[in-house]
Amino acid sequence: MCSFCSLSKAIEISTSPQTIFINEYLDILQSRNADLSFQQALQHFQDKKFTANLDNKVSFGSTNNVVWASLVIKNTSTENVNKLFYIDSAWLDRAEFYFLYNDNLIGEALIGDLLPFDSRVTKTRMFSVQHTFAPASTVVLMKFQSQDPLLIPIFLSTNEIVNSNLTLLNYFYGFIYGAFFILLVYNIALSLSLKDSRYVYYSLYLLSFFCLNLSYTGHGYKFLWSGSVFLQQWLMPLFLYLYILFGIAFCFEFLKLKVFLPKVYKRKKSIYAGLILLVILLFIIGDRLLAVQLGVALTSLLVVIFISLGVMALKHGHKMAKFFIPAVLMGAGGAAISAATTWGIIPYNTMLFHGIEIGMLLEMSLLAVALGFNLKEMNNARIIAEVNAQIDPLTTLFNRRAFAATVEPQWHLGIRDNKPFSLILLDIDWFKRINDDYGHAAGDTTLKAIAETLNRKVRKSDILARWGGEEFIIFLPNTSKLSATNLANVIRQEIERMTVLHTNVELKVTASFGVADHTVQQNKLEDLIKLADDALYKAKSSGRNIVCTA
Ligand SMILES: Nc1nc2c(ncn2[C@@H]2O[C@H](COP(=O)(O)OP(=O)(O)OP(=O)(O)O)[C@@H](O)[C@H]2O)c(=O)[nH]1
């Protein structure tokens, strides 16, 4: 019988299918000089130098250290039982498994990223090792080594259970990647059509996280670079730094730091240059452990910086920061749950371990909503700007530009249909005196009152506009000079009759009118306006408050 099986707490297995999380059964030997040979490790195991894995630890840090683990498995049945060791991590440089039965080494397996994916016996995205356990006890010695975070959540299960769990996980990733893909396409389309840098940086930020996720979940190694150990080793840190770089660029543009925090924005170029230089240096040195440790530390620091910038931008009145802060908190919250699971602060659980992906999806979705909201705001601002470009803000009548644009088609229609059309130009008399005697506000009230009167008197088909300071213009389609003159007189009388009330002061005003109609000599609108203006001048010089025709 096995001479040292009594040393450890044994896991009992039988033919019934079950999944056991074995970290709590492990005994561990972790020290700086733990890079022992198998024989040395076995000796340490026999000498009881392995200690219980306290708190069911799954993560042994980002370290150059080697971790040895031991486990006793007791097959309580009378048959051989086939089991699968499944490590729920795709990110491990090297693991060795030694199986001892009756003190004899009966099997060993080597797995890890340092072997090309193609050479794996079981081609699962995560690492796995199969073994057939004979009745009674088997000792398993395991050696783990990784410059990446040494994360080893190990399950003992069957092929069928692992495959069915992997199918579930595939649906999960299908959903997450599908959602990322839709967000990416949507934002790339927006960045192409709007030429707004925020959408470009959002797309790059999302794409870099997507690539980072592909690399550390093992999808990339399985499907994209399965033959290259070098890419598997170095793409993850590279994507991590790209994610940081584009995260900063997105934060700068999204929070409009140029406007809200110009002092910080000015440092943009030196921050980018510093980061790029750091990446080049790390890659030249070739220390992957340092690259990963620094990258993870920078990512954590970034969350604090992002939230601080978000709060500062919000204080400076940037509305979009309202979306940015909870979005970053969601992403960081997901990452914190993953980290807490990884570090054993909360019990390990596959779903909690994927908190970072769910958090990132929520973050990215909220940011996409924010960009959509911004799109709506931009659209509203554009509509307001377009309206403002046509409307005189005081009287809300058309301005000169809008008048000319609106009259243009009516002018050509009148000529084509051989219909008469006329123009009235009117100017308030002695308007300067109102301003001088009662103030500018009284002048404004008068202008508004006259605009209202004109609006009431003209037809819906007539085109009315404020021509300038105290001048108004009316284009009358399908109207003869006589009819236009009659209308001008009606308006003149109405203005003469009206009383403008301004802060308890009753103001009386009159206006002078020039009327002209279209004749064959006139080629353009300006010619007609010139005639009406001449007539108006005549009215002014003839004593005011009268209508003169061209
Ligand atoms: N309150 C106010 N005044 C304006 C506005 N636009 C122009 N004005 C003023 O309108 C006055 C026009 O004065 P003038 O061109 O001398 O004409 P007037 O006093 O009406 O004299 P006549 O046209 O010869 O009867 C100027 O004092 C302008 O400053 C405005 O939007 N609001």
Greatest pairwise CA separation for the chain in angstroms: 130
Per-residue pLDDT tens digits for 225-255:
988 999 998 999 999 999 999 999 989 988 8
Mutate which of 435, 533, 548 for ligand 1 pocket (most atoms within 8 A of beta carbon): 435
Q: Identify the CA nearest to 288 among candidates 328, 331, 342, 229.
A: 229
Query: Which atom of ligand 1 approaches the CA of 435 most closely?
Result: 1
Specify which residues 512 forms β-bridges with: 427
Query: Which atom of ligand 1 approaches the CA of 433 most closely?
Result: 19
CA 19 to chain centre: 39
Q: What is the ipTM of this complex?
A: 0.91
Distance 448 CA to ligand 1 centre (A): 14
CA distances 90 to 8, 56, 363, Å, are 28, 20, 24
Reply yes or no on whether the pLDDT at 451 is more than 90: yes
Classify burial at 363, counting beta carbons within 10 Å of its beta carbon; exposed 0-12, middle 13-18, buried 19 or more.
buried
Distance 427 CA to ligand 1 centre (A): 9
Reply yes or no on whether the pLDDT at 320 is more than 90: no
Distance 372 CA to ligand 1 centre (A): 46
Token look-up 């001892």 returns 100
Joined together, the tokens standing for residue 170 give 């595939």
Amino acid 297 reads A
Reply yes or no on whether the pLDDT at 256 is more than 50: yes
- pLDDT for the residue 1: 43
- pLDDT for the residue 139: 96
Nearest CA to ligand 1 atom 14: 432
Contact call for residues 352 and 337 (beta carbons, < 8 A): yes
Contact call for residues 307 and 328 (beta carbons, < 8 A): yes
Contact call for residues 102 and 57 (beta carbons, < 8 A): no
- pLDDT for the residue 540: 95
Confidence at 20, pLDDT banded by 50, 70, 90: very high
Nearest CA to ligand 1 atom 31: 469
Angle of helix 355-388 relative to helix 197-216, nearest 10 degrees? 170
Domains and CATH numbers, the chain: 5-157 (2.60.40.2380), 168-378 (1.20.1070), 400-549 (3.30.70.270)
**Residue 353: enclosing H or E segment and its boundaries?**
helix 350-353
Whole-number mean pLDDT of the chain? 89
Residues in contact with ligand 1 (CB, 6 Å cut-off): 394, 427-432, 435, 440, 443-444, 447, 469-470, 540, 544
Mutate which of 470, 471, 492 for ligand 1 pocket (most atoms within 8 A of beta carbon): 470
Distance 443 CA to ligand 1 centre (A): 8
Cα–Cα distance, 332 to 137 (Å, whole number): 45
Nearest CA to ligand 1 atom 12: 432
Q: State percent of the chain over pLDDT 70.
A: 97
Nearest CA to ligand 1 atom 13: 432
Confidence at 30, pLDDT banded by 50, 70, 90: confident
Per-residue pLDDT tens digits for 505-549:
899 999 999 999 998 787 889 999 999 999 999 999 999 999 999
Q: Which residue has the higher pLDDT, 3 or 123?
A: 123
Average pLDDT value for residue range 169-184: 91
Distance 462 CA to ligand 1 centre (A): 25
Joined together, the tokens standing for residue 288 give 């992957």
Nearest CA to ligand 1 atom 32: 444
- pLDDT for the residue 297: 84
